[in-house]
Amino acid sequence: MDCFYAAIEVRDRPALRGKPVGVGGTRDRRGVLTTCNYEAREFGVHSAMPTFMALQRCPNLIVLPTRFDVYRREAAVIRGILHRFSLLIEPLSLDEAYVDLTAHPGAPAAVAKVIRDMIFQKTKLTSSAGIGPNKLVAKIASEVNKPNGQLEVKPEEVPDFMEKLPVRKIWGIGAKTERKLEELRVKTCGELQSFSRPELVDLFGKFGIDLYDLCRGIDHRPVEPDRPRKSLSTEETFSIDLTTLEQCEERLAELFEQLMADLAQKETTRTITKIFVKLKFADFTRTTVERAGLEPSLDAFRSLLAEGFARTGKNVRLLGLGVRFAEPEKTSAQLPLL
Amino acid sequence: MKFSVTKEKLLEGLQQVQNVVSTRTTLPILSNVLLQANGNEVHLTTTDLDVGVRGSFEAQVEKEGATTLPARRLFNIIRELPSSEIQFDVDGKNTASIRSGQSFFKILGLPEEEFPPLPKFEGAKVVTIRQKDLRDGLRKTSYAISTDETRYVLNGVLFSFKENKLTLVATDGRRLAMLDIELEFPRSHEADIIVPTKAVTELQRLLAEDGEVKVSMGSGQIAFDLNNTLLVSKLIEGNYPNYKQVIPSEAKERVTLERETFLNSLRRVSLLASDKSNSIKLNFSKNNIEITANTPEVGEAKESLPVAYKGRDLSIAFNPEFLMAPLRNLIEDEVFLDLIDEMSPGVLKIQTPFLYVLMPMRISA
């Protein structure tokens, strides 16, 4: 979906059309933008940007609070549409999903267009699509003609498509790897292709094995409709660092609400094995406090937060909390004792 | 801080504390060992915030003081030093200069103040146990600890202080090991506490053949004082399941087994227990046990063990690993196996107060 949350807000408030709009926390509450529309992006505003910074770049930016219940409702409608075309759907987030169209008789690009039209009819929201022989290519292609566009990369077009592609577009390559590659004068996937697999393993460890394939547009991961989630978490980076435990506790309570809502929506039956609180400090060091056997309650998270906060006493830049799930059960012939 | 020490003493001291140091910690200070030089001793402390160990070694202290240094690195350096004599000199910026023979090392440390202090145990309940008894007790029970993190309260050994007895219990929900140690302590010291696996493992390493260990139970914490070494640990919060209810009150059949002979047979036959079912079958008949295992498309193993058995014919299957674990950790020559039927738990016993309850596996047709 194209700037999903912001698009929903603009749709529901027609007066905002054409104006720069962001969704997220407000400036005086040291909020961060969850997303913003294309009008705002022209000012250099982007998602995950602290609201105060966004307002510096775009003083007319209209910042709205998030309404996750509404976004979830829309996401459910969209997922319903996708299900008419394939049973193999792997959601990445509320507004993004892989759809395996191998079994669909229609031409994939045409099917994608139909899906997008249907989504627009039902929700008045625009979306973009990438059509490719695997998840890697499809995902990268989906970004090319955003917003409200699509791109098909046919199998025979993959080599050309990858050749000029910046390495950063490959999943798993972040700022650090990109810098390392720049030192080797590698900017595009085509340039990366001149390395042998052993050379890549030397440079990047295990990731090198996959990287050799990825830079050629080869990706064997299947679309997995119900890949069991290992954990569920939520976090927030603050525009102004938190200095006291009380401040952290205040934010913790908000994040806790969000996590509980997520849990209720996404994972209602799984056994929770651990809960954790993650802290990133002003100097970018981080710590995680994890505890097994505790129910995810605000009190329990509070005690973990206190422990993590006490470890350094530094100002807090990011606060996150989450739960880890048990592996799905295997049946056994062993009889239980207790 | 300035002191000199022999390589052997320093290595021995570091070995006592370094296991606790976590290799993948998010807090740099937790990779460090705290060194505190006082009088003619240097104290060493390590912690991962759950478990902490404090030990010491004799040294010629020229200047008292304290610092923290990366534990693993320090150990690796000391181990390789060429001479037996080592001089330690730490400046005000926590930089340690280590000299030994012709070698010189400079190591950057972190200030003592950053090191998290070990908890205090003032006003704690104290019970004294013979080290040998506790070591023996943990050896005979701790292998049954659960590693399943979803069953958090089972990730440790239950120490139940009741009626002048310390009962140690470990279980993973499929088998249970239990042992009693006679002790004297006041009624007010009765308590059920769960000591986590990591502390149990460390404790087993530290416990010796002679001497006593002073156990202090504070709120949510426990300390084991072994004269020259102190181990402290967080306790597992929660209620240990009612383990007494799974111990069968009576047995239909009893067979006496030579522990090592039985163990060796099990070990051989289990080579053919399939990875999938992972079971081994014991077929009891008059004066004989036939132990069998098979893996489809691989083969089978069979071994007969003459025993004094007069009960009815009976076939029961167990996970071989679960059956062998107590046999490996017991030291007695003779063990007793009590059985009821194919679907009820078997109980392994010895002459002294110990028992091991093991649930069988379903036998597929």
* pLDDT, tens digit, 9 for 90 and up, residues B65-114: 999 999 999 999 999 998 899 999 999 999 999 999 999 999 999 999 99
* Tens digit of each residue's pLDDT (9 = 90 or more) over B312-345: 999 999 999 999 999 999 999 999 999 999 889 9
pLDDT value of residue A179: 87
A292 has a chain B CB within 8 A of its CB: yes
Q: Per-residue pLDDT for B178 more than 50?
A: yes
Q: Work out the average pLDDT over B119-123.
A: 90
CB contact under 8 A, A338 and B319: no
* Tens digit of each residue's pLDDT (9 = 90 or more) over B133-145: 999 999 999 999 9
Q: Per-residue pLDDT for B365 more than 50?
A: no
pLDDT value of residue B285: 94
Element (H, E) at A287: strand A286-292
pLDDT value of residue A227: 66
Q: Work out the average pLDDT over B146-163.
A: 91
A258 has a chain B CB within 8 A of its CB: no
- A198-202, B155-159, B346-350: which has the minimum mean pLDDT? A198-202
Task: List, for chain A, all residue ranges whose pLDDT scores fall below the cut of 70.
Answer: 28-30, 226-227, 268-269, 328-332
For residue B345, give the nearest of B261, B267, B240, B250 by alpha carbon: B250
- Select the residue from A276, A334, A335 to test the B interface by mutation, using most B Cβ atoms within 10 A: A334
Asked if residues B75 and B18 have their Cβ atoms less than 8 Å apart, the reply is: yes
A326 has a chain B CB within 8 A of its CB: yes
Q: Per-residue pLDDT for B177 more than 60?
A: yes
pLDDT value of residue A107: 93
| Contacts with B322 (C-beta within 8 Å, 6 or more apart), sequence order | B174, B175, B358
Residue of B nearest to A307 (CA): B49
CB contact under 8 A, B279 and A274: no
Distance from CA of A310 to the nearest CA of B (A): 10
In the chain, the amino acid numbered A243 is: T
B277 has a chain A CB within 8 A of its CB: yes
Whether ipTM tops 0.85, in short, is: no
For residue B236, give the nearest of B215, B216, B214, B221 by alpha carbon: B221
Taken in order B268, B273, B275, B279, the sign of the CA dihedral is negative
Q: Work out the average pLDDT over B287-306.
A: 92
Of A292, A326, A336, Cβ closest to residue B174? A336
For residue B175, give the nearest of B313, B327, B353, B301 by alpha carbon: B327
Distance from CA of B59 to the nearest CA of A (A): 32
User: Residues of B with CB below 8 A from A292's CB?
Assistant: 149-150, 152, 155
Number of other CB atoms surrounding residue B25 within 10 Å:
14
User: Residues of B with CB below 8 A from A288's CB?
Assistant: 26
- Select the residue from B32, B47, B152, B171 to test the A interface by mutation, using most A Cβ atoms within 10 A: B152
Q: Per-residue pLDDT for B230 more than 70?
A: yes
Question: What proportion of chain B, given as a percentage, has pLDDT over 90?
Answer: 86
Q: Provide the annotated active-site residues of A.
A: 96
CB contact under 8 A, A293 and B238: yes
CA angle B188/B191/B193 to nearest 5° reads 155
Q: Per-residue pLDDT for B219 more than 70?
A: yes
User: Residues of A with CB below 8 A from B348's CB?
Assistant: none
B246 has a chain A CB within 8 A of its CB: yes
CB contact under 8 A, A335 and B361: yes
Q: Per-residue pLDDT for B267 more than 90?
A: yes
Q: Per-residue pLDDT for B201 more than 60?
A: yes
B325 has a chain A CB within 8 A of its CB: no
Q: Per-residue pLDDT for B35 more than 90?
A: yes
For residue A27, give the nearest of A53, A66, A1 by alpha carbon: A53
Residue of A nearest to B172 (CA): A338
A244 has a chain B CB within 8 A of its CB: no
pLDDT value of residue B95: 96
Higher pLDDT, residue B362 or A11: A11
